[in-house]
Amino acid sequence: MAAAAASKPFKTGLKQIYLPDNVITFCRPTRESQLPQFATFKVPLHFNKLDIRDYLFNAYSVVTLGVRSAVMRRPVLRSHPITQRVQRPPSIKYMTVELQKPFVWPKEPTKEELKQWDDEATEARVKLHEKRESQMKNYQLYGTIDRPNMQKKTQDRSLLAKQARELVSGAAKWDNRRELDPKWTES
Amino acid sequence: MAASAPIRSSIGRVLQPATRCPLTTSLNLPLRVSLSCPPNASSFSTTSSLGERRPTRDNNRLRGLSSIYRSGTKGRMAVDGFATPKPADYKPEITTDPNHGLWDFFYSKDRALPLPEEDSQHGRAWIVEELRHKSWEDLHRLWWVCAKERNRIATATRERRRLKLVKGEDESKLRNYEIWKTMKAIKHTLTERYYAWEDARELAEKDPEIDLSGEGNPYTPRDYLQEEEMEQLALDSEAPAQQGEEKFMEEKPATEAIDPSSLPKTEQTQSSPRV
């Protein structure tokens, strides 16, 4: 903190804040085209552009050239499962600062690396949970029931159906690829 | 509405660095822009990645075409027949400074998200008793260490949610909880210190030895021995007047000579004058 204060490239604020309890989240750029000269942060709603500039300068010794801020409104939620009360959660403020020195985020983990966190079983469990949730939601909102027999037929099931049809029509003969013992043949 | 079109075309430029785009910083923005570029001009950048960044920014598939003919340019032009040069598909490789301040938002430079094992490698929080012995400078520094750690945890949590990972969330929460406890302990210590200071100030206001005016020496200790002697003298002079009276619970000095060995030890200590 003190080292950066030696040479200030801009005029910083005079109000001294000793014990701030703000949490600033560094966000990975969502767009490929965002230049490395920009960094996006999720900040508390009361933050202004000067706040983030001085915060980054004093706490992280990062010099910024400009700030753009955006307040993202969030969709309404049914906050209570029984009363179905509609509430809108508080908005989220994002600030994109222009950096003096470019910064590139660490590379995204590959599929192999991701197994260090979640193994396949956990992943399958999460997927199943998500599916159940979407079924519940569909039923509650639109009244649609997602039964297994309404699901799209898998390749296995369609192959089985085809084989059964052939067997019934007599086009194919049942065979388990084993020679039957002669004692079982009808004389 | 006529003025909004040039503004809209300039919105795309917002994402470019301010140093490259002097128009956005100039005053009288709508006027200047409308003079410098015609309303149907599309934004252009020699950097190919920037040129393609928002191909359908206003959902108009006829952007850039003539509204009357729905075609290209009207008449023949001098450049007809020449292939239009295309900007090279070139993206410069940017290396981040290893001492960049934003690395403090990560645990390591290799990955944005720490492994759950790494996340759980932490000790317990500072307790109030330990912090009572620390100076304000130390406590302030510790607070900022905690604040930056919380930012680091928030960044990792956001990354974990984005990748929809389950493992590691509990470890992260526990880590955050220890930080929270430390921060609470710091506030507790400082509040205690403030109350102690308040009480000390109240005492000092009553104390004749302490001068709170802020001028001169704040503490001038008195000579107790001298004071006692003075009191003794005063008592001696008033002695004949007070001879007959007897005060409540007054301790009288032993006038009769008692053999100390005849008394039990406890009584002896009680009867001896207090120091």
Nearest to A60 among B101, B150, B165 (CB): B101
Domain edge (last residue) among A65, A82, A99? A99
Residue of B nearest to A31 (CA): B53
Which pLDDT score is estimated for B17? 43
CATH number of the domain where residue A60 is located? 3.30.70.330
Query: Which structural domain, as residue segments, surrounds residue A89?
Result: 4-99
Contact across the interface for B96 and A19, Cβ inside 8 Å? no
Whether residue A119 lies inside any domain: the answer is yes
pLDDT means per 10 residues, chain A with 187 residues, are: 65 92 95 91 97 96 96 90 88 97 94 88 89 88 77 81 94 87 82
Kindly state whether residues A59 and A128 are assigned to the same domain.
no
Question: Taking a C-beta distance cutoff of 8 angstroms, is the pair A76, A46 a contact?
Answer: no
Which pLDDT score is estimated for B260? 58
Task: Using 50 as the pLDDT threshold, list the residues of chain B that sit under it.
Answer: 1-41, 267-273, 275
Q: Going by C-beta distance under 8 Å and a sequence separation of 6 or more, which residues neighbour residue B65?
A: B71, B72
Task: Select from B16, B47, B100 the residue whose CB has the most chain A CBs within 10 Å, as the one to mutate to test that interface.
Answer: B100
Which pLDDT score is estimated for A33? 83
Burial tier of B96 (Cβ tally within 10 Å: 0-12, 13-18, 19+): middle
> How many structural domains is chain A composed of?
2
Question: How many angstroms separate the CA atoms of B146 and B178, rounded?
Answer: 10
Kindly state whether residues A120 and A58 are assigned to the same domain.
no
Kindly state whether residues A86 and A112 are assigned to the same domain.
no
Which pLDDT score is estimated for B201? 93
ipTM of this predicted complex?
0.73
Whether residue A158 lies inside any domain: the answer is no
Whether residue A182 lies inside any domain: the answer is no
Determine the straight-line distance between the first and last CA of chain B, rounded to whole angstroms. 95
Domain edge (last residue) among A65, A81, A99? A99
Helices (H), B107-210: 116-119, 128-131, 136-162, 169-206
**Least Cα separation, residue B71 to chain A (angstroms):** 30
pTM comes to 0.64
